[in-house]
């Protein structure tokens, strides 16, 4: 009887160890899948960020100069002939509003 009990204890321990090994194998495969998905998402995010960086470095279509050729400046506008000088209009003074006045800005808020 003791021999039978010893064999059954060994068999029980073997099955417990096999169940533990199966569990660990499943956990490793699950972790591997999670890591692969995380890496794929990170690569996709990196690709999107790189595309945005490339796009932000490109000049805006609206900011590009027009395709029309510019006229060369006329000799009169240079001011060097006949002693001409170009006069500009004086700049208008800035409007200053007291705190909370008609501009709608509250001076207490940042």
* Half-sphere exposure of residue 84: CA atoms within 13 angstroms, side-chain side: 9
Helix (H) or strand (E) holding 35, with range, is helix 2-57
pLDDT, the chain, mean: 77
Cβ(76)–Cβ(84) below 8 Å: yes
- pLDDT tier, 41 (very low <50, low <70, confident <90, very high otherwise): very high
pTM: 0.42
pLDDT, tens digit (0-9, with 9 covering 90-100), for 50-97: 999 888 877 655 555 555 666 766 665 554 555 555 666 667 666 665
Structure tokens at 27: 């956990």
């Amino acid at each position: 009887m003791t021999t039978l009990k010893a064999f059954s204890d060994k068999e029980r321990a073997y099955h417990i160890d096999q169940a533990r090994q199966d569990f660990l194998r499943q956990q490793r495969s699950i972790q591997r899948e999670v890591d692969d998905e995380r890496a794929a998402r990170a690569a996709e995010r990196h690709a999107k960020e790189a595309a945005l960086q490339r796009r932000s470095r490109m000049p805006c279509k609206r900011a590009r100069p027009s395709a029309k050729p510019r006229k060369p400046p006329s000799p009169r506008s240079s001011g060097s002939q006949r002693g001409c000088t170009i006069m500009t209009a004086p700049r208008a003074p800035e409007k200053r509003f007291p705190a909370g006045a008609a501009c709608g800005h509250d001076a207490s808020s940042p």
